[in-house]
């Protein structure tokens, strides 16, 4: 009976560590995607800021273009950059939290293996 409980606990911990590693990996992938979007927004902001004030500015939405003014486009890009930065910080905080849980689960697995060998 104790062997079955130990086996079940071991499987649960192993599942938890594998799931946590997957979530960390997914977070890093999302972070790279968001970072790329942030860079695109920064480049667009620089490009729009170089446009003379008297020229019309068009915003691409899907397959159509929307006529906007330069200040609103600059503000929109600044806001996007800020949102992307916040998302990256959130992903970093989540990664730290998940890594702590992963270390704890791995140490529990090691303890379980050591107690089994004894």
pTM of this prediction exceeds 0.85: no
Q: What is the pLDDT of residue 111?
A: 84
* Comparison of pLDDT for 24 and 111, the residue scoring more: 24
**CB-CB neighbours of 77 under 10 Å:** 20
Residue 80 zone, left/alpha/beta (φ > 0; ψ -120 to 50; rest): alpha
Q: What is the pLDDT of residue 118?
A: 67
Token digits for 69? 């003014």
Residues 58 and 68: beta-carbon distance below 8 Å: yes
Q: What burial class does residue 20 get, using C-beta atoms within 10 Å of its C-beta: 0-12 exposed, 13-18 middle, 19+ buried?
A: buried
User: For the chain, what are the domain ranges?
Assistant: 2-43+74-117
Note the pLDDT tens digit of each residue in 44-86: 999 999 999 888 899 989 999 999 999 999 999 999 999 999 9
DSSP assignment of 52-97 equals: -TTS-EEEEETTEEEEE-HHHHHHHHHHHHHHHHHHHHHHHHHHHH
Note the pLDDT tens digit of each residue in 36-45: 999 999 999 9
């Amino acid at each position: 009976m104790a062997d079955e409980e130990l086996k079940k606990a071991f499987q649960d911990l192993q599942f938890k560590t594998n799931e946590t590693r997957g979530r960390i990996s997914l977070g890093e992938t999302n972070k790279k995607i968001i970072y790329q979007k942030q860079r695109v927004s920064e480049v667009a902001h620089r490009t729009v800021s170089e446009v003379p004030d008297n020229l019309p500015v068009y915003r691409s939405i899907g397959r159509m273009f929307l006529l906007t003014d330069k200040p609103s486009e600059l503000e929109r890009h600044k806001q996007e950059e800020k949102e992307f930065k916040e998302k990256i910080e959130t992903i970093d905080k989540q990664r730290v939290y998940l890594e702590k849980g992963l270390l704890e689960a791995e140490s529990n697995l090691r303890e379980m293996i050591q107690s089994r060998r004894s």
